[in-house]
Amino acid sequence: QVQLVQSGAEVKKPGSSVKVSCKASGGTFSSYAISWVRQAPGQGLEWMGGIIPIFGTANYAQKFQGRVTITTDESTSTAYMELSSLRSEDTAVYYCARGVAEMATTYLFDYWGQGTLVTVSS
């Protein structure tokens, strides 16, 4: 049974950073792509970036280049997403999502975390 359990809600000041974690259980963590997707209140899904283990480096959406860092810790089967220079528009639910197949080279997701609400407010 695959589970992705994310860290709890955060409230941050504009200009600060936030780091959200996603702990995986079930399956071989290092064999699956992992991505972060966010959803602002009442809005659609927005892919932020991810890591495909076979490539070893993270890919980021152009919109978030330079402001987001996605990392993984294989020893604890945990993925992290750090977003810096926060502004009010970054208020959203942030989801982690896992790729569908071992060693796959694409960002197609079948398991999702429960979501983490990040609120940016002065």
| Position among 29, 32, 94, 109 found at the interface with another protein (CB under 8 A) | 109
The smaller minimum CB distance to another protein, of residues 16 and 65, is found at 65
Number of residues that bind another protein (CB under 8 A): 26
The smaller minimum CB distance to another protein, of residues 16 and 101, is found at 101
Alpha helices in the chain (DSSP H): none
Tell me the two tokens of residue 66: 């330079």
* Binders in 61-90 for another protein, by CB under 8 A: 61-62
Cα-based angle 49, 108, 58 (whole degrees, multiple of 5):
25
Q: How many angstroms separate the Cα of 6 from the Cα of each of 23, 65, 84, 91, 95? A: 6, 23, 19, 17, 8
The smaller minimum CB distance to another protein, of residues 86 and 97, is found at 97
Alpha carbon 115 to its chain centroid, in Å, reads 9
Contact track, another protein, 37-56, x by CB under 8 A: x------xxxx--x-x--x-
The smaller minimum CB distance to another protein, of residues 79 and 113, is found at 113
